[in-house]
Amino acid sequence: MGDSEQLIELRGVKKAYRTPAGDFYALRGIDLTIRPGEFVALSGRSGAGKSTLINLISGIDRATAGEIWIADQAIHRMNEEKLTRWRGRQVGVIFQSFQLMPMLTCVQNVMLPMDFANLYKSPKERVARAMHLLEQVEIAEHAHKRPSAVSGGQRQRVAIARALANDPVFLAADEPTGSLDSKTADAVFAVFEQLVAAGKTIFMATHDRELAARAQRIVHIEDGLLVEDA
Amino acid sequence: MPKLSTRWYKVFHDLWSSRTRTLIVALAVAVGVYAVGTILAAQTLMLREFSLGRAKAQVASAILTTYPFDAELAARIAALPGVAAAEGRATTSVRALTPPDTWRSLNITVVDEFDQMQVDKYLPVAGAWPTQKGEIMLEWLGLDYLGAEIGDTLTIELATGAQKQLQVVGTGHDPQQLSPEIINVTGGIVTPETMTYLGLSHLFTELHLRVDAAHTDPAGVAAVVDAVEDRIERSGREVLNTYVVGRSMIESIVDTAVAILNSFGWIILLLSGFLVINTISALIAQQVNQIGVMKLVGASRLQMAAMYITLVLIYGVLACLIAVPLAVLTGQMLITNLVAELVNLRPVSYALPAEVYLVMIAVGTLIPLAAGLLPVWQGTRITTYAALNDIGIHAEAAGHGLFERMLERLPRRWLQRPLLLSARNAVRHKGRLLRTTIVLVLGTALFIGVISVRQSVNTTQADFLRYHQYDVRLGFGEPLRIARLAAIAAELPDVVAVEGWGLDSALRVRPDGSESNRYQVVGLPGDTALVDPVVQAGRWLTPEDEYAVVLNATVAKDELDVAVGDTIVLDMAGRERPWTVVGIVSTDAQGPKIFINYPTFAYETRTVGKANSLQVISARHDLRAQQSMETILRNHFENRGVEVRSTRTTQRLNAQNGLMFDIIVGFLILMAVQLGGVGSMGLSTTMSINITERIREIGVLRAIGASNGAIRRIVLLEGLVIATVSWMVGFVLSYPAAQFMSSAIGIALLDMPLTFTYALPAALLWFVVLLGLAVVASLGPARSAVTLTIREVLAYE
Amino acid sequence: MRWGRRRTGTERAMNGATLVAADGIIDLRGITKAYATVAGPFIALRGIDLTIQAGEFVAVVGKSGSGKSTLINMFTGIDHPTDGEVIVANTAIRHLDEGKMAEWRGRTMGIIFQFFQLLPTLSIIENVMIPMDLAGMYGMGERYERAQHLLAQVGLADEAHKYPATVSAGHQQRAAIARALANDPPILVADEPTGNLDTRAAESVFELFETLVAAGKTILMVTHDSELAQRVPRVVTIADGLIVSDVRRN
């Protein structure tokens, strides 16, 4: 895998939410391709469909129609179980609300994906790798604290380290700086820039236009349709 | 860093970081394990040790009374086909001096060879066999009853009035002997030589017969008994009485207790199962977001299932660790403290079979597992998005079920939104509500039922005294002139009235020529004020009755072919006469009785103007007054030269009847406590789960202007709605349930329904308890909810 | 347009609170808010002074994490300042405890959340009636008619008896607005009211706000949607815990 020119390819992707008031289309036909190593920002207002698109690409939610190909794999055909295993190894997901496990220490949070994927098998190797990733996001000194004992920006760094745990093909981030003050947001964004420089592919949803402007490519979404690709 | 995989840290922290929750979940499971375990342990031990005791004692199939015979005849009978064992015995009733100055009844039985006993055995408990002349082995419960120790010398008084000394050299266990506290007599065994020493015959008058395995059915026993009767008669002796051993009181008590435990065991198992399901499924439902996070980072279904199975198993193991030892201990305590003395059990072992432990462990682990697997499976099946946002799993949309429609019918003025909110919230998780309601409804119905049975037992016990409406009864060795007895009694200032009765025995000669066991006959004035009978058929005696009899229910049960109006032949005082059955009355739990009008009785027994039993009504009727009257009367009569054979007060009789019910009542209370416990736990866990799940809604209510009081009212109302509705349904069901139970238990125990009394106070008290529990269980979480600021409550959006 | 008549509720709610003279309907004086974190105190607000007059329509804008949500929590009484004084409708709200605050809030302001926060077990009209029940406002029979009237105003008369989960997000937000108006409070506070709505639904909610302001309500709206903010008469911009601009358009 990876020899294809496109890493991510979406063809006519639609997503409807069933409400008793009728189907509500959050995505109404998305076509998008992303090449390996790209840093793509997805901008748009609240409710435009940003989160939905991130969820579909990371396999967190399922499309109603259309095809999603990632690294030559047909994501839209996978069942829930396959999708989960695939995501565990191939995708790192970062949320605005961090979604760390509260009862585990920071380093344990980073080790959890390795454990589930059964990668880096020896405990020593896992700890070493987790510590290395925490160092990369400059949070190694808090490794043995619980998430509740560190600040929001630090939690997001832990979440990024966790997203990198299994050396995924790409990172999907949904408003990663949404809960952070501007200084912390800058720092987190800088981490993304480093990762891209190191060859990672990042797809990031944000409503912060300034931040979006610093990505290589901006995709703008409005009411479930891509309206601009710069 | 330890070797454990990271995911197991999550499991460990789930347990350790929320120690209170861990404890509550483990306790909820433990309550079920304990309830089921106690019942199983008590039931298994009681049944096993009881049958074991009887098997070891090799209980006789029949006892034949005849003229004196020796061991040689017994040996010849033992050789007859169908006979497994036959031994001669003779029993004589004496009084033994119990320190400091009470005389108590003792039945001394002569046994030929102690260590060769093959039927109705005494199983040695302590000390030695009484092989020497002047030695006696007492039934082990007799030691306490007679206030004696092994090695003591016992002063006894024979029927002749002669006093002798016997040395107590040991104790033995006779499983057929009920607690002396109940039957007011104990027993002991001696050698033929000792009988001679006492001035009595060393020969036997009773043949204790045990049939072999091929003849244990009633027809088989009858056939063997016939053959034995023939053999005895060929030896030139007339068979005076044949007593075919049937179901004893002990067996009735044990069987009833086991039946109670058995039927309630299943119900309590079901209820505690529901309790466990509610607790575990709510616990897992709260984990859906974390399931989402784990899916996010690639956890497979099996990996997560393994984690939660482990978690739930640990809860189960904790529950078992708490409950299994407690349940076993309680079961054993019930046997030692409640059952053993009353039914005369001497458990050989308190060990429980593996099945009992297996059932407890299954309740503690399999039910939680089953309860936990479904939500875990559902939680892992939905999309990661749904799990992360915790939607789609336990969102049961507000429906338009029956309850909803009922609510809508209520006038709008009446049903304010806060009340509506409470009511709708209560029905939100229909499965949980259903299980909670079933637990509470059944718990309520059975709790009230059980207490009602207990009340009915009391009423029934009080009914027994309807046949003993006097204070003290004096028994004499022979019929004495009533006028003289009355005159002696009248010398005492506290004696209000006396009435002389004649007591004898009779057997029925059945149309087919066979004879019944011996029944007690009571000859009493037809217009006696001392009997207030419960007439089940026909009528009570009148002063005009001549050859008329009233049977009590115990006789009627033995003589099923007899109906009111029939004529039966009774053999009394050596004369066979036809008698007309005019009525059947309830039992007084003192065995079979036939009531006859005194003049006819006196004529038939040739005791006109005489009585061997004097019923005395004294000025005061409490236990102490009766006991002092008893002693005063005995001393007074003996001072006047009238020997008193036996005395009894009715309060003591009542207390003894009570002892008989003690086991049943004890188990009923145990059931009530367990039902109450499971019901309480069910309501409490449901309420805390409900409130904990709705902390955010409470924040919303805060934001739209709900004061602390308003939130408390909403939360409380919900608990009160559940408690009230469940109680009302349970209350309605409790009446038939109580009626059914009191009838079933009465029939099992006494062959008649108990006198039904509904325990309304208990029903009302239980309602108050439920309301209190609802308040306590809701207020805890509600208090923590109101102390949270709205910011905290809404923070995680 | 009248949105209902008021009762004596506000006066009653003020029992135990200090009545103070203030410049506007909302008056914030030197508000500082620090959160204790293990990583040391985090200052969310660094001395905010803000006065809002009755009848104003104010947008509070700022990036996520700038402190705008914290600010809104201050004058709704949802959270308390570390330092400074909050005076709303002449009441110094730090003198109220959580329970009293809830009662006072129920009569003084209607809150509109990004995620609507309707009670799922009550129908839409019941959701609108519950603040009246809680505050003991309006006669028992009157509450139903008032709720229907309010739902008609927000264009939801037809869906009054449906449950929240069965209507669209836009309609849920309208129901939440009707609920916020239930006790006819002088102030409406909306936290990202259009954050979860599509453009069309967001537009109609915004228009509803403009109508309410025209009818005399004071509205505070937190948003990070700068386009929407541009249409509000007064925009307060907050960044890293400080008011960086306060712009009034005619």
Residue type, B13: H
CB contacts of A177 in chain C (<8 Å) are: 64-65
Q: What confidence score (pLDDT) does residue A187 get? A: 82
User: Are B421 and B484 found together in one domain?
Assistant: no
Q: What confidence score (pLDDT) does residue B186 get? A: 92
Instruction: Please give the residue that has the higher pLDDT: either B535 or C98.
Output: B535
Residue type, B343: V
Three-state SS at B732:
helix
pLDDT-based confidence at residue A72 (cuts at 50, 70, 90): confident
The model's pLDDT over B593-629, given as tens digits with 9 standing for 90+, comes to 999 999 999 999 999 999 999 999 998 888 888 888 8
User: Are B668 and B755 found together in one domain?
Assistant: yes
User: Are B78 and B141 found together in one domain?
Assistant: yes
Question: A: neighbours with 3+ CB pairs under 8 Å?
Answer: B, C
Final residue in a domain of this structure, among B215, B244, B273: B244
pLDDT-based confidence at residue B515 (cuts at 50, 70, 90): confident
Q: What confidence score (pLDDT) does residue B300 get? A: 87
Residue type, B234: R
Residue of C nearest to B714 (CA): C134
pLDDT-based confidence at residue C7 (cuts at 50, 70, 90): very low
Final residue in a domain of this structure, among B394, B411, B446: B394
- Percentage of residues in chain C with pLDDT exceeding 70? 88
What is the CATH classification number for the domain harbouring C17? 3.40.50.300
CB–CB contact B9 A88 (8 Å): no
CB atoms within 10 A of CB C161: 10
Q: How far is CA A209 from the centre of its chain?
A: 19
B626 in a domain, yes or no?
no
The model's pLDDT over B146-196, given as tens digits with 9 standing for 90+, comes to 999 999 999 998 877 789 999 999 999 988 887 887 777 899 999 999 999
In whole angstroms, give the CA distance from residue A158 to residue B322: 40
The model's pLDDT over A18-62, given as tens digits with 9 standing for 90+, comes to 765 677 788 999 999 999 999 999 988 767 788 889 999 998 888
Q: What confidence score (pLDDT) does residue C15 get? A: 45
Residue in B15, B297, B302, B377 to test binding to A, most A beta-carbons within 10 Å: B297
| Whole-Å CA distances, B1 to A141, B9, B12 | 16, 12, 15
C1 in a domain, yes or no?
no
Q: Is the pLDDT at A184 greater than 80, yes or no?
A: no
DSSP string, A37-55: T-EEEEE--TTSSHHHHHH
Q: What confidence score (pLDDT) does residue A134 get? A: 92
Domain that holds residue B188: 60-244
C77 in a domain, yes or no?
yes
Q: What confidence score (pLDDT) does residue B393 get? A: 36
B258 in a domain, yes or no?
yes
What is the CATH classification number for the domain harbouring B74? 2.40.40.20
Task: Determine contact, residues B74/B237, Cβ cutoff 8 Å.
Answer: no
Count of the separate structural domains present in chain C? 1
- Answer whether C171 touches A (CB < 8 Å): yes
pLDDT-based confidence at residue C195 (cuts at 50, 70, 90): confident
C3 in a domain, yes or no?
no
Q: What confidence score (pLDDT) does residue B192 get? A: 92
Task: Determine contact, residues B335/B45, Cβ cutoff 8 Å.
Answer: yes
C141 in a domain, yes or no?
yes
C41 in a domain, yes or no?
yes
Question: Where would I find the H helices in chain C?
Answer: 9-13, 68-75, 98-108, 124-135, 140-153, 169-180, 199-214, 226-230
CB atoms within 10 A of CB B775: 18
Three-state SS at B139:
strand
Task: Determine contact, residues B331/B42, Cβ cutoff 8 Å.
Answer: yes
CB contacts of B388 in chain A (<8 Å) are: 60, 99
Q: What confidence score (pLDDT) does residue A219 get? A: 92
Q: Across residues C94-99, what is the average pLDDT? A: 74
Q: How far is CA B244 from the centre of its chain?
A: 26
Task: Determine contact, residues B379/B284, Cβ cutoff 8 Å.
Answer: yes
Tell me, what's the ipTM?
Answer: 0.88
Q: How far is CA B668 from the centre of its chain?
A: 6
User: Are B130 and B168 found together in one domain?
Assistant: yes
Question: B: neighbours with 3+ CB pairs under 8 Å?
Answer: A, C
Instruction: Please give the residue that has the higher pLDDT: either B417 or C26.
Output: C26
- Answer whether C224 touches B (CB < 8 Å): no
Show Cβ contacts of residue B184 under 8 Å, excluding neighbours closer than 6 positions.
B104, B105, B648, B652, B656
Q: Is the pLDDT at A98 greater than 90, yes or no?
A: no
Instruction: Please give the residue that has the higher pLDDT: either C201 or A196.
Output: A196
- Answer whether B381 touches A (CB < 8 Å): yes
- Answer whether B301 touches A (CB < 8 Å): yes
Residues, chain A, total? 230
Final residue in a domain of this structure, among B244, B274, B291: B244
Residue of A nearest to B377 (CA): A81
- Answer whether C38 touches A (CB < 8 Å): yes
User: Are B308 and B367 found together in one domain?
Assistant: yes
The model's pLDDT over B426-470, given as tens digits with 9 standing for 90+, comes to 777 778 888 888 888 988 898 899 889 888 988 888 888 899 999
Residue of A nearest to C44 (CA): A181
Show Cβ contacts of residue B524 under 8 Å, excluding neighbours closer than 6 positions.
B499, B501, B502, B530, B531, B541, B595, B596, B597, B598, B601
The model's pLDDT over B552-582, given as tens digits with 9 standing for 90+, comes to 988 988 888 999 999 999 999 888 999 999 9
User: Are B143 and B214 found together in one domain?
Assistant: yes
Q: What confidence score (pLDDT) does residue A38 get? A: 92
Question: Where would I find the H helices in B694-707?
Answer: 695-703
Question: C: neighbours with 3+ CB pairs under 8 Å?
Answer: A, B
The dihedral formed by the CA atoms of C223, A202, A18 and A14, expressed in degrees to the nearest 10: 120
- Answer whether B290 touches A (CB < 8 Å): yes
Q: Is the pLDDT at A8 greater than 50, yes or no?
A: yes
CB–CB contact C39 A151 (8 Å): yes
Q: Is the pLDDT at B123 greater than 80, yes or no?
A: yes
Show Cβ contacts of residue C139 under 8 Å, excluding neighbours closer than 6 positions.
none
The model's pLDDT over B37-80, given as tens digits with 9 standing for 90+, comes to 988 898 888 888 888 888 888 888 899 988 999 889 999 999 99
Residue of A nearest to C38 (CA): A149
Q: How far separated are the first and last CA of chain B, in Å rounded?
A: 35
Task: Determine contact, residues B640/B168, Cβ cutoff 8 Å.
Answer: no
B646 in a domain, yes or no?
no
Lowest-pLDDT range of A156-160, B440-444, B718-722, C182-186: B718-722
User: Are B279 and B362 found together in one domain?
Assistant: yes
* Of A84, A97, A126, Cβ closest to residue B298: A84
Q: Chain C closest CA to A142's CA: distance in Å? A: 10
B519 in a domain, yes or no?
yes
Q: What is the CA radius of gyration of chain B?
A: 34
Mean pLDDT, rounded, of chain C:
81
CB–CB contact C197 A145 (8 Å): no
User: Are B230 and B179 found together in one domain?
Assistant: yes
Q: Is the pLDDT at B541 greater than 80, yes or no?
A: yes
Q: Chain B closest CA to C141's CA: distance in Å? A: 7
User: Are B406 and B500 found together in one domain?
Assistant: no
Q: What confidence score (pLDDT) does residue B540 get? A: 95
Q: Across residues B660-675, what is the average pLDDT? A: 81
User: Are B120 and B202 found together in one domain?
Assistant: yes
pLDDT-based confidence at residue A3 (cuts at 50, 70, 90): very low
User: Are B668 and B778 found together in one domain?
Assistant: yes
pLDDT-based confidence at residue C222 (cuts at 50, 70, 90): confident
Q: Is the pLDDT at B404 greater than 60, yes or no?
A: no
In whole angstroms, give the CA distance from residue A96 to residue B619: 91
- Answer whether C142 touches B (CB < 8 Å): no
In whole angstroms, give the CA distance from residue B580 to residue B569: 9
Count of the separate structural domains present in chain B? 4
B631 in a domain, yes or no?
no
In whole angstroms, give the CA distance from residue B276 to residue B35: 13
CB–CB contact A150 C199 (8 Å): no
User: In chain A, what are the domains?
Assistant: 36-62+84-229 (3.40.50.300)
Residue of C nearest to A224 (CA): C198
Task: Determine contact, residues B522/B475, Cβ cutoff 8 Å.
Answer: no
Interface of B to C at Cβ within 8 Å reads: 395, 397-398, 412-413, 416-418, 420-421, 424-425, 428, 696-697, 700-710, 786-787, 789-791, 794, 797
Phi, psi of B545 (to 5 degrees): -60, 140
B642 in a domain, yes or no?
no
In whole angstroms, give the CA distance from residue A137 to residue A187: 9
pLDDT-based confidence at residue B398 (cuts at 50, 70, 90): very low
Task: Determine contact, residues C229/C235, Cβ cutoff 8 Å.
Answer: yes
Buried b / exposed e over B177-209, threshold 16 CB at 10 Å, is bbbbbbebbbbbbbbbebbebbebebbbbbbbb
C2 in a domain, yes or no?
no
Domain that holds residue C128: 9-248
User: Are B687 and B745 found together in one domain?
Assistant: yes
